Every structure is written in structure tokens, then in C-alpha cells.
Amino acid sequence: MIEVKGISKSYGPTLAVDNVSFEVHRGEIVGFLGPNGAGKSTSMKVITGYLAPDRGTVSIDGNDILEAPIAARSRLGYLPESTPLYEDMGVLDYLDFMGRMHNVPAERRRGRIDELVDICDLGRMAHKDIGELSKGYRQRVGLAQALVSDPPVLVLDEPTSGLDPAQIVEIRALIREIAREKAILLSTHILPEAQNVCDRILIISQGRLVGEGTPGELLSMAAGGEQYTVTFKGRAGAELRGALERLPRVSDVSLLSEEGGSRFRLKAEGGADLNEKLFDLAVSQGAKLLELNKTATTLESVFLQLTGTSASGDALHSVQGHDAPAAAEQQSGAAAAEQAKEAGDE
């Protein structure tokens, strides 16, 4: 339904999106994941036809976004970043206007808007002005607006940004509910969100696609599987090391320290469970097991590995509450891209 072929877009000298290609099919929710300033919003602006790409093509349900813009956009619902809305319009008025823009005939418009007020749980706010609404309700109005023509393709830029945890759960449930018949592309910088909501994840960093796959596939992409940290007491580190290396399906054994016991880190190949084997090893070697700790690979570590910057890792934790206006994002986006590049070089 969404076909993106080799799009690039630069703002002046800054390359914001670099040769990105992917497809989103009907019934699929695809997550666009990346640190701030990675080019998510720019990509979405290009996909929805708000910006023309420097190179590459986008087609929505078979209609090229530049060659047949009206046909393409009439099959598209879009929720831009930070949810711009006409503040001084009433909620119902606004949805009615968007319905008119999509040529929803008058007799169906009324019913469709009632339905959306119901789906998006806007009942109590329906007669208020948009300017009076809280962030959560604005987000719902934005979502209702994108759905007004019941389009087959939805592009949602950070649909849960700035919401409280309860609202996030509701909006996610809503997205999953409407996803069955549609192709949905949503961007996020929150990893659990991508993991929970999306069928497939695209990881973008510095304007490039650096990873793609289902959440499961991405997890297995992370090298080495599970990691164990073990501490033995009573035997010398060097001897234990040899014994550990002889265990089947163990690799990358490293001695971390020998203070108060020998502390090792090792990797299990193919997700093998080593708990019992490590315990048996301690018994057979006549050592005492002080610590046995298993760290599963998380999407977070995959993400950090793929985007290759610790700076973006920090961003991941600190961005939950961000709701900068789109304009500011564009400027700071360029700056962030620069920063990320510098961090990568170091």
C-alpha cells in the first residue's frame, strides 16, 4: 500500500533522509524507529507529499505522490508530529471540514463523524473548541481527523508523544483496532511501543535505514544471544576459565575481576540455557557459586548497536515527554544530526 523507493531529502547542506526504501502492506503496522533528528519526520513529510523528495518516488495505493497527488492523498490519513489543529474550531466542526476536504458526501459525513467520536472516545469533548482540549484529547482529534475518510493508508508521526501512560495504552489499542484493514506507518522513539504495537520495525539513523525486521528478527540479529555473568569462589580464575571454555555452547569467556571471587562474563550460543551447567561446573570444580546472572538481549541493545551512538541512547530515555513544535524540530533536527555524526566519529 505504501511503496517508498530510494527517497532522499536534504535541507540545505544537511542530508536528512538518505536513499530510504521500504513497503508497507495492507493489515500491517510498521514502526519507524530512530533517535530524534534521525529523519523520521522528514521521511513522513515526503511520504505524505508535504515535501517533495530530492530523489526517489513514493506511491500510495498505486498512486505516485507527485504525479497523482490528489488521488494519492485521498487514500491517506496523516497525523503530523505535534498534532497541529485549528485551535479556534469546534471538534465537530473541524472533523466536518476534514470530511468535506475528502469529499465524504454530506449524508455519510454526519454518521462517520459520530462513529469517530465514539471510536476515539471524544464524546464529552465533542462540543468544545480544540484550543480548550488537553494534549490527550488533541491527539484523539488528530487521529479522528486522519480517519475521517476511512483511508486505506495511515501515516502517524509520534501518535503517543506527550500522553500519560494510561492514554498511551488507549491510543495503542485504538491503533491496533483500526489496523486490520489498513496499512499503517507510525514513527516512535519509544522502543517498547515499537515492540508492542508493530508487526515490523524499520530502524533509521542519520537518515539511513540501518535495520529492518519483525521485533523477533531484530532481537536475533543482535550478536551472541544471552549473556551470563557468574562469580565463583575457591578456585583460581585461570583454572576456571579453562573449564568454562570447555562447556558446550559457550563462547567469549572473559575474566572480569578476581577480587572476592573470579567474576566471568560469557555468551550462550543459540539461546542455550546454561544455568544448570554453570552450577554443576561449580560443584565439579569444588568452587562456590556466588553470582549467576542472565541478561537477555533487548531491542534496546539492538537499537544502540544499529544506530551506533551512545548519544542517541541518552536521547531515548529523555525524550518521552518531548513535544517540541514541528518548526523547532526541523531546525534542531539538523543540529541533532550533526551532533550524532560527531558522536559517531569519536
Partner 1 sequence: MSKIAAVWRREFRQFWLSPVAYIVICVFLVISTWLFMKGFFIVNDASMDQLFGLIPWFFLFLLPALTMRQWAEEQASGTIELLMTQPVSEREVVWGKYLSTVTLLAVILILTVPLTLTVSALSQNGLDGGVVFANYLGAFLLGSAFLAIGGWISSFTRNQIIAFILSIAVIFGLIIVGESMVTIFIGKGASWLVPALEYIGLRQHYGSMQRGVIDTRDLFYYVSVIWLFLYLTTRAVESRRWS
Q: Which of 1, 24, 58, 76 is the binder for partner 1 (CB under 8 A)? A: 76
80 is a contact residue toward partner 1 (CB under 8 A): yes
What residues are paired with 11 via a beta bridge? 14
> What's the CA dihedral at 236, 242, 248, 253 to 10 degrees?
80
Instruction: Please say which residue, 89 or 343, places its beta carbon nearer to partner 1.
Output: 89
Q: How far is the CB of 31 from partner 1 (least distance, A)?
A: 21
To the nearest whole angstrom, how small is the minimum distance from the Cβ of residue 21 to partner 1? 21
Which residue in 17, 85, 95, 218 binds partner 1 (CB under 8 A)? 85
- Return the sign of the alpha-carbon dihedral for residues 217, 221, 226, 229: negative
Query: Does 236 contact partner 1 by CB under 8 A?
Result: no
Beta-carbon-side half-sphere exposure of residue 219 (alpha carbons within 13 Å): 15
How distant, in Å, are the alpha carbons of 7, 51, 104, 173, 343 from that of 22?
A: 10, 18, 30, 25, 27
Rounded to 5°, angle at Cα 42 from 40 and 46:
115
Of the candidate spans 99-107, 165-173, 223-231, 260-268, the one that interacts with partner 1 by CB under 8 A turns out to be: 99-107
| Residue 70 is a binding residue for partner 1 (CB under 8 A) | yes
Which of 42, 43, 59, 145 lies at the binding interface for partner 1 (CB under 8 A)? Answer: 145
Instruction: Using the minimum distance from each CB to partner 1, give the nearer residue, 152 or 234.
Output: 152
Surface-to-core class of residue 45, CB atoms within 10 Å of its CB (0-12 exposed, 13-18 middle, 19+ buried): buried
Name the segment binding partner 1 (CB under 8 A); options: 81-89, 116-124, 161-169, 172-180.
81-89
Shortest Å, Cβ 250 to partner 1? 54
Nearer to partner 1 among residue 96 and residue 193 (C-beta): 96
Edge-to-edge strand list for the sheet holding 288-295 = 250-257, 262-268, 227-233, 288-295
List the x/- string, 12-51, binding to partner 1 by CB under 8 A.
Answer: ---------------------------------x--xxxx
Q: CB-based contacts of 81: which residues, under 8 Å, 6+ apart?
A: 41, 44, 157, 158, 161, 187, 326, 329
Q: Which of residues 300-339 bind partner 1 (CB under 8 A)?
A: 325-327
Closest contact distance (angstroms) between CB of 110 and partner 1 is 15
Is the separation of the CB atoms in 18 and 8 below 8 Å? yes
Task: Reduce the DSSP state of residue 107 to 3 states and report it.
Answer: helix
Distance of alpha carbon 130 from alpha carbon 146, whole angstroms: 15
Q: Please, what is the minimum distance in Å from the beta carbon of residue 151 to partner 1?
A: 10
The residues binding partner 1 (CB under 8 A) are 45, 48-52, 69-71, 73-74, 76, 78, 80, 82, 84-89, 93, 97-98, 100-103, 145, 325-327
